[in-house]
Amino acid sequence: METIQFIFTALAAVWLFNWAIKRRFQLPLPPGPKGLPLVGNLFEMPRDFPWEKYHEWCKEYNTDTLHLYAAGKHIIVLDSPQAAADLLDKRSLIYSGRPRLPMIKELMGWDWFFGFRNYDETCRLHRKLINQAFNPTAVNQFIPQIKRATRNMLGLFLEDPEKLEGNLRRMAGETIMSVSYGIKIQKNDDFYVKTAEQGVSPALHIVGNPGAFLVDTIPILKYVPSWFPGAGFKTKAKEWKRLSKVMLEVPFKAAKAAIADGSASISLVSANLDRLEALGQNDSAQEQAVKEVAGGLYAVGIDTTVSPIVSCILALVKNPAVLKRAQAELDSVIEPGRFPDLSDEPALPYITAIVHESFRWRDVSPQALPHCLIKEDEYNGYRIPAGSIVIANSWALLHNEDIYPDPFAFNPDRFMKEGKLDFQSQRDPSFACWGYGRRKCPGRYMAYPAVWLAITHLLYCFDIMRAKDEYGNDIDPPEEFISALTIMAKPFKYDLKPRSEDIEKLIQQGLSAEVDFREFDGDH
């Protein structure tokens, strides 16, 4: 009798399993534009500001889970906070892969980069190394380097106030090279920063412009010889691969040399190599992981640091009342003769609201890096095929009118209530601006204080105003941005001057003084 019951139970289980599988494959795909036979929506895919078109389609088809099909690839766009949380956060076990990316990973050799890797054992090791160095407590050891780069930035603006993006890139480059390798960069045309920029720029440009190379749509083209007509991408990939290898090897070699002769300052490389040596685990595989993580930090850190600061300056030029209120708050807290510090953050809620609004208003990465679903899934009655490329439309989430009324206005007051920070009335943008699930930015605890310090110092030290035209009229700068993985405001006119002679002297003193590595030991 027990045997018969077991057989019936087993048969029922098999039937239910087959029924579930059959049912799932009978489910419809999420709504979306129909497309053409074979190629689907390939020729409809937007090249510039794709997140805007995705949102438009979502409204047209009344869905927050959009389906597109492009020459064999299923693409799912998540257009609401709920959909992004349900899939990328709650089901991160199966939604943390990355697309194949033949041009970048296979031809350009960027398969080492943790941002492009599938969520495998090596990726987990990379993220662990980053977390050990940049978790909320450990990151404090790098605050002096961030402050040093910030004060050097002020000197750059004294010398050349019109080089907004250039001065900020120099500051971000100095910060990243210092905390990654312990390298102190040169003031002008630094070799290490230039090497990193040359290695990183092609990859970020390509991944931010999907479809730029046909090989990403038709991977078999990777086998076409470089001399074949139309295969110029192979020559480009070879040169870009060489540049990325130089970016990986050169600063790491310099960091190891400094460690060997005892001149190294604290950095991700020195901290991890010292730890591995103490544990007796300093083998070639572990060292390679440290090298790859250090090389990847420039890729993820340079534009994501510069972009929100540039957006903030643009917003302040267009909203002078916000700047005046911020400076009044700073003047009420910061005693003359010193710079703002992270320890002042609790007393500067409006400044912090400005920083959060800068991340939200022109979100740094409007659609983040795409995820890849590793097995078949079902959501809200729709089938999501295995291997689907899944895109979170962060731009739509951070400009959702139900969460942020008047979402395209720069309004730090949305995060203020009765003179205090308020993330209850309107949500903290961090739910979308740092990524999702297991692929959330591991360096966010270093990036945030770097941006906060840069914006706070600029507001405290400089008046940032509209430029004048030849007739003395104010120039209202346009809100124009470059479409890429990380957006950047196009160059715009502004006027930047020190707020007083005392401030100018303070900046000069800051350039000659060394930051005390013991002066900051609290959590931020």
**What are 380-401's pLDDT values in tens digits?**
999 999 999 999 999 999 999 9
**What are 83-130's pLDDT values in tens digits?**
999 999 999 999 999 998 899 899 999 999 999 999 999 999 999 999
Q: Report whether 67 contacts 30 (CB < 8 A).
A: yes
Q: How far apart are CA 1 and CA 118, in angstroms?
A: 49
**What are 273-306's pLDDT values in tens digits?**
988 888 777 678 889 999 999 999 988 888 899 9
pLDDT of residue 10 exceeding 90, the answer is no
Per-residue confidence band for 6, with pLDDT thresholds at 50, 70 and 90? very low
**What are 56-67's pLDDT values in tens digits?**
999 999 999 999
| Domains in the chain: boundaries | 2-512
pLDDT of residue 72 exceeding 90, the answer is no
Q: How far apart are CA 95 and CA 308, in angstroms?
A: 27
Alpha-carbon distances of 54 from 43, 181, 386, 391, rounded to whole Å = 14, 40, 21, 10
Whether CATH 3.40.50.150 fits 2-512: no
Q: For a pLDDT cut of 70, what percent of the chain falls above it?
A: 90
Per-residue confidence band for 12, with pLDDT thresholds at 50, 70 and 90? very low
Q: HEC states along 472-517?
A: CCECCCCCCEECCCCCEECCCCCEEEECCHHHHHHHHHHHHCCCCC
- Phi, psi angle pair for 514, to nearest 5°: -90, 140
Residue 433 known to bind ligand: no
Alpha-carbon distances of 447 from 13, 298, 451, rounded to whole Å = 51, 12, 6
Q: Which two structure tokens, joined as six digits, stand for 113?
A: 């980069």
Report pTM: 0.90
Among 22-31, 45-54, 224-233, 396-405, which is the least confidently predicted range? 22-31
Q: Output the pLDDT for position 192.
A: 85
Per-residue confidence band for 423, with pLDDT thresholds at 50, 70 and 90? very high
Instruction: Classify residue 110 by its DSSP letter.
Output: G
Q: How far apart are CA 348 and CA 45, in angstroms?
A: 44
